[in-house]
Amino acid sequence: MFAPMKPLMFSKSLFALGLGLGLAKGTVTAAKGAKVVKAFGYENCIELINKTTRVVLVPAGGRVLSYEVNGVNALYLSESDSQGKGGSSAGRFDIGPERVLPRHDLLWSGPYSGKITGARSAKFTSGRDKASGFQIVREFKLAAKGTHLRIKQTVINVSDKTSQVCYWCRTFVHGQGICVVPVTEYSRMPRKHVIYENGTTVNFLPEDEKISQRDGYVLVEGPPRMPKLGFDSKAGWMAYLMRNDLLFVKGWPTYPKRPYNEMAGLTLSIWYPDGPMCELEPIGPQEILKPGAKASFTEDWWVADEKFPGDAKSVDLGQLEAKVKKLTGRK
């Protein structure tokens, strides 16, 4: 399991900040390590910052525009997004099941109402989406030291009927890196992963020269033959080695005794096209929510310096695992 972050303390005199698309006159706009900024051409962003790490959150989609370590953004930001012209790149979040829920543009890219909730922490709330029947609340908290960013997404059923849903993260990082996924026993997948062929067929015996296995890990070295891969690993973490010499680590809880409602029962998906980005997608278990009910899922991010190894064969998996344990507090 991942070690929990210590509570972040702040003065009782600091009250929550209501943002929406504008700021109320006289509203408090800052707390320790948190303030309202204009960034990448977007108004009313919230910046969370400590000595080494800067996180920029944007109301457009309630997402992370920048996750910077010593001035280097670990996320892929499209040209459109970097100029405040709209888009859906960088640190995106979503709900599934992918082929079951209707389009939910309000939750995906619509305006979220943001507020600073304390030291290096903020909350973004979506509108009530009629298409899916859900509303989303996202809470972000940056540690006082280091790169640890915690994201908690809560889904609320605002409809008048019982519906299913699951958490689905869709983080864009810089492409042409190496994905490292620890696999676990008792997989339903003969090769510990599947490939989606042409978007409609799940290949459970995939072969691809860009995908290899050794010592309990699946390694994806550059864009495979088909871009979408799925895993049912219960390890609850993955690593991504980038050509800018950064290591991006994601951690999330898994539930071996609960059903997962994506087509192949996935706990993680990777979308890796031949282009400038790679998408890392932790997935949560099935939630059956009655009207008014809610469910939450928490994901953790870390970044560290790590010299890019050049190819998958050169990845020292023992050293990488030790570094991840030290970085995240895993045992």
d(CA 32, CA 90): 25
Express each pLDDT in 237-278 by its tens digit: 999 999 999 999 999 999 999 999 999 999 999 999 999 999
Residue 287: is its pLDDT beyond 50?
yes
Residue 22: is its pLDDT beyond 50?
no
Q: Which domain holds residue 62?
A: 30-328
Residue 57: is its pLDDT beyond 80?
yes
Is 18 inside a domain boundary?
no
Is 5 inside a domain boundary?
no
Is 8 inside a domain boundary?
no
- CATH number of the CATH domain containing 258: 2.70.98.10
Residue 179: is its pLDDT beyond 60?
yes
Output the pLDDT for position 86.
87
Q: Are 66 and 90 in contact (CB under 8 A)?
A: yes
d(CA 198, CA 253): 30
Is 56 inside a domain boundary?
yes
Residue 222: is its pLDDT beyond 60?
yes
Is 307 inside a domain boundary?
yes
The answer for residues whose C-beta is within 8 angstroms of residue 265's C-beta and 6 or more apart is 188, 232, 259
Residue 23: is its pLDDT beyond 80?
no
Is 11 inside a domain boundary?
no
Tell me the average pLDDT across 110-130: 97
Count of structural domains within the chain: 1
Q: Which residue has the higher pLDDT, 27 or 230?
A: 230
pLDDT band at 28 (very low <50, low <70, confident <90, very high): low
Residue 16: is its pLDDT beyond 90?
no
pLDDT band at 29 (very low <50, low <70, confident <90, very high): confident
Is 2 inside a domain boundary?
no
pLDDT band at 4 (very low <50, low <70, confident <90, very high): very low
Express each pLDDT in 79-99 by its tens digit: 999 999 888 899 999 999 998
Output the pLDDT for position 87.
87
Tell me the average pLDDT across 296-310: 97
Output the pLDDT for position 198.
84
Share of the chain above pLDDT 90, in %: 87
Is 303 inside a domain boundary?
yes
Tell me the average pLDDT across 59-72: 96
Report the chain's mean pLDDT, rounded to a whole number.
Answer: 91
pLDDT band at 11 (very low <50, low <70, confident <90, very high): very low
